Structure 1
Amino acid sequence: MKRVPLVPTIVVALAIAAMVALGLWQLLERKPQKEAFLAQLAANPTRPPIAFPRFPDQALLFRRASAFCLEPVSISRAGAGAAGYRVIALCRTGAEGPGLRVQIGTTRDPVGTVAWGGGAVRGWIAHAPDARPLIATVAQPNAARELMLVTDRPAPGLAANAPPSIESIPNNHLAYAVQWFLFAGVAGVIYVVALRRRWVGKKED
């Protein structure tokens, strides 16, 4: 008679159940939530302009906004694909809280000096470049990110910014669900194969 080891079977069954539960959570809860959030973001460009928020609010992405840069503290570059580099100024605003980041245009020059003295800016709210290490972005994919203002008029000497696109917001919850279901299936197959090998080994003994 083939006996199934009790404790290992319980452990594997609990692990498989947890994986299936995570897959269902991604499919039935997280996916609809993300789709509703994306629908809200898609409507943001048509809503009235607002003052740039002092603290991050992801629900304001792609909304038109305005701000005032008293003084650029630093100007840096970030990759922009075919456009070359995004030129981003960190501004002093005179208000409490973090400084204002403004994407003032794009350039193909990786090292040239950008002369911009600040002032009134307007455009769209977008995510600032993510400075977190790769491991942090994997471990916390839904963590709140810093926002910046992407200007609708470039600074002198720079090319115009492309308006932020909702396509930059990933919706991977269906893929996550499929992965958890596959993990559960693979775990089950591996355990069954291990049991068969154990039974064959005992039979030969």
Structure 2
Amino acid sequence: MKRGFLTTLVFGLIGFAILIALGLWQMGRIPQKETEIAQIEAMIYDAPVALPLTLDPEVDEYRPVRVRGTLGAAELHVLVSSRDFGAGFRIIAPLTLEDGRTVMLDRGYVPTAAKEAARSMGDVEVVGNLQWPDERDRFIPQDDPVANYWYARDVTKMAQALEAAPILIVAQESTGTGILPLPVSVAAIPNNHFSYMVQWFLFAAVWFGMTSLLLWRMRARRG
């Protein structure tokens, strides 16, 4: 019985220490993530620059750019939901720049009823942010290019469909009547470390309580 009591005690202390360590790790991640988000926010609202000739998604994500070019007639419709306006579509269009490159422009949101509506094209000057969204996971349905229903902004796949470079610029301002811009912001960047910290500390408290109860019962049986 004594050996079993000691084994339970050691196992309980090890589990409690692991859970506390995980909680402390999440606590340490909070200021780190807040710093990362602050840096991203500063980049988003920095002065726009000309689109560089070479881009690195790791370095240039969220970089503001100013481009001039011609909007093409083709467009992709990516299903999205706006908190204020409900379900609709992001309009992704090819933009041929003055230097000859064709990139993609996320023009913004239109309601479902306007999916097939005619939209302005031609020459535009746009300020937007570079983005390579990571929206695809195993729960996202497969896109239907024939019906022009896309369920995630997959830059590589969209670029192939539009015969453009895998470069997506998300417009900061309206690029046409009836199109609501959905500019890049830090609101979409998750920061769940505080809730994770609380969860690990609660698990530690429950583990400590259950271990203490088990040890008390073992000692009571010995008595």
Out of 57, 77, 91, the residue aligned to residue 88 of structure 1 is 91
Q: Which moved more, 1:12-21 or 1:68-77?
A: 68-77
Q: Secondary structure at the match of 2:76?
A: strand
In structure 2, relative to structure 1, the CA distance for the partners of 1:152 and 1:38 (3 Å cut) is closer
Identity of aligned residues (%): 27
Q: Distance in 2 between matches of 1:43 and 1:107?
A: 28
Q: Verify: 1:64 aligned to 2:59, yes or no.
A: no
TM-score (ref. length: structure 2):
0.64
In structure 2, relative to structure 1, the CA distance for the partners of 1:107 and 1:48 (3 Å cut) is closer
In structure 2, relative to structure 1, the CA distance for the partners of 1:86 and 1:109 (3 Å cut) is closer
TM-score (ref. length: structure 1):
0.68
Alignment of 1:150-189 (within 5 A): 150-189=170-209
Q: Distance in 2 between matches of 1:118 and 1:166?
A: 31
Q: Distance in 2 between matches of 1:114 and 1:131?
A: 27
Q: Secondary structure at the match of 2:184?
A: coil
Gaps spanning 5+ residues in structure 1: where? 94-98, 136-144
Question: What is the CA distance between 1:57 and its match in structure 2?
Answer: 2.8
Gaps spanning 5+ residues in structure 2: where? 97-101, 141-153, 156-166
- Residue matched to 2:35: 36
RMSD: 3.8
Q: Distance in 2 between matches of 1:132 and 1:119?
A: 36
- Residue matched to 1:105: 108
In structure 2, relative to structure 1, the CA distance for the partners of 1:58 and 1:188 (3 Å cut) is farther
Out of 77, 80, 85, the residue aligned to residue 78 of structure 1 is 80
Q: Distance in 1 between matches of 2:93 and 2:8?
A: 56
Q: Distance in 2 between matches of 1:31 and 1:65?
A: 30
Matched residue count? 188
AA partner of residue 175 (structure 1): S
Q: Is the 8 A contact 2:50 2:65 kept in 1?
A: yes
In structure 2, relative to structure 1, the CA distance for the partners of 1:80 and 1:50 (3 Å cut) is farther
Q: Distance in 2 between matches of 1:134 and 1:167?
A: 22
